[in-house]
Amino acid sequence: MTEGTSPAPLTGVVVIDLGQIYQGPYATFLMARAGADVIKVEPLTGEPLRRRESEGVGPSFPLAFLNSNKRAVTLNLKEERGRELLRTMVERADVLLENFAPGVMDRLGVGARELMELNPRLVYASGTGFGLSGPDRDRLAMDVTIQASAGVMSITGTPEAPPMRAGPAMADFLGGVHLYGAVVTALFDRSRSGRGCLVEVAMQETVYPTLLSDLGLQYRAGGEQAPRRGNRHGAVAPYNVYATRDGHIALICTADSHWQSLLEAMGRQDLADDPRFSTTSLRAENEAATDEAVSEWAARLTREEAYEITRAHRIPSAPVRDLSEVTNDAHMHQRGMLQWVDHPTLGEVVLPNSPLRFHQLEQPDLNPSPVLGEHNKEIYGDWLGLSLQEISDLHDDGVI
């Protein structure tokens, strides 16, 4: 059922992509891999990820990661002729997406209201940290400050140490994929109403649902937040990361049957009738002793041995893998989620596919990210109909 026989789902959808860094570009990456025609519009010096390249630190891996299958043009929105070109593109486009701070596009005179008047079928998509309204609208937002304000840090790490950042850029990417969902929903709505709309996603709001386990524990505790739990669960044991001879394994027993299987796997049936361990809540009460039994066993094995034994016994477990292991994961490569690509500026690198998989529908081949302004002639010439002379003049005048 996986071979594609029908066109990719977003074929023919034209997206004007003013996205920068992570949130916006991830949303439009998902669109591009689903077949949309994504035109990445950058200032003359490039979007911030591109500008870091020119600071002499070498090619930007994040830029390559997020911009496959897009076409790239330069455009100076501080020039009226630049804004005029944007309006011309918007008249022919389905989606405009940006993740500037709130109000930036309005102040340039190309805000949602103006552009949707120009093209009532336009879906105008805004990604921000805190949203387009409310008292915190204009707060500076980056992944790490969102993690602080949204509560992530308060539930990550151990009670002895300060609140801890989650390593992944989870706020940026949760923001990006919600923005994708909002845009596609608006396109579906337009297929029936004939009208576009303004869609909006605030990173902080996309993070809130991920706190759910801890919000649930807090509700149960009458409103009090428990101390940070590190790798432990609090109400379930074993639930931890255990050191093996050559790495770590994560292992949890959410059911009593898991614990009985684990005792068998560890050759510790002598504990089967130990009253300290007979139920989940008793094991949680005796967490230190429970963890000690598992730690003793794990310390004698390699990570792979510990994982294979627990897997064979159907106990939820996983080796704690590093980035190289994940990037070279045979499973994700076999599924086509990851692939080796010979990128024009980065060389041989592993780039991702979209996590959205549509059986029976085609998917475009992965086309490496464009260089700055690579498609100026194609977009401004072939698509908008400007002459080579006009394009050359716009370039000389600092408009594109």
Q: Is 172 a catalytic residue?
A: yes
Compare residues 145 and 278 and give the one whose CB is closer to a second copy.
145
Q: Which residues pair with 95 in a beta bridge?
A: 15, 123
88 binds a second copy (CB under 8 A): no
Nearer to a second copy, 48 or 398 (CB): 48
Is residue 118 a contact residue for a second copy (CB under 8 A)? Answer: no
**Cβ closer to a second copy: 34 or 372?**
34
Q: Do residues 400 and 85 lie in contact, with contact meaning Cβ atoms separated by under 8 Å?
A: yes
Of positions 91, 335, 340, 378, contacts a second copy by CB under 8 A: 335
Residue 158 or 269: which CB sits closer to a second copy? 158
Contact (Cβ atoms closer than 8 angstroms) between residue 53 and residue 80: no
Class of residue 55 by CB neighbours under 10 A (exposed 0-12, middle 13-18, buried 19+): exposed
Of residues 269-328, those binding a second copy (CB under 8 A): 311, 314-327
> Binding pattern to a second copy, positions 64-83, x when CB under 8 A?
-xx-----------------
- Shortest Å, Cβ 145 to a second copy: 4
The encoded tokens of residue 62 equal 């994040």
Binding mask 131-150 for a second copy (x = CB under 8 A): x-xxxx--xxxx-xxxxxxx
Q: Is 130 in the site for a second copy (CB under 8 A)?
A: yes
At closest approach, how far in Å is the CB of 12 from a second copy?
8
# binding residues, a second copy (CB under 8 A): 140
- Least distance to a second copy, CB of residue 211, Å: 6
Q: Which residues of 146-155 are buried (b: 16+ CB within 10 A; e: fewer)?
A: bbebbbbbeb
Burial class of residue 66 in the structure, from the number of CB atoms within 10 Å of its CB (0-12 exposed, 13-18 middle, 19+ buried): buried
Measuring CA to CA, which residue among 288, 287, 238 is closest to residue 258?
238
| Contact flag: residue 96 with a second copy (CB under 8 A) | no
CB of 52 to a second copy, least distance (A): 10
Q: Which of 250, 284, 366, 371 binds a second copy (CB under 8 A)?
A: 250
Residues 10, 18, 32, 394: which binds a second copy (CB under 8 A)?
A: 10
CB of 75 to a second copy, least distance (A): 24
**Distance from C-alpha of 360 to C-alpha of 346, rounded to nearest angstrom:** 32
Residue where the block lists tokens 């830029």: 63
Give the Cβ contact number of residue 19 at 10 Å: 30
Cis bond leading into 344, ω under 30°? no
Kindly give the interhelix angle for 303-312 and 256-266, rounded to the nearest 10 degrees. 130
Binding pattern for the stretch 208-247 against a second copy, x by CB under 8 A and - elsewhere: xxxxxxxxx-xxx--x-x--xxxx-------x-x-x----
Closest CB 357 distance from a second copy, rounded Å: 4
Of 279, 243, 242, the residue nearest 258 (C-alpha): 279
- Per-position x/- string for 169-208, each x denoting binding to a second copy as judged by CB under 8 A, each - no binding: xx-xxx--xx-xxx-xxxxxx-xxx-x-xxxxxx-xxxxx
Q: Please report where in the chains the tokens 């994708």 appear, as a residue.
A: 180
Neighbours of 356 (CB within 10 A): 14
SS3 state of residue 338: strand
Only one of the segments 52-60, 95-103, 262-270, 368-376 lies at the binding site for a second copy (rule: CB under 8 A); that segment is 52-60
DSSP-assigned letter for residue 134: S
Which two three-digit tokens encode residue 313? Answer: 């016994």
- 17, 172, 214, 291: the active-site residue: 172
Give the residue numbers annotated as catalytic, written as ranges.
172
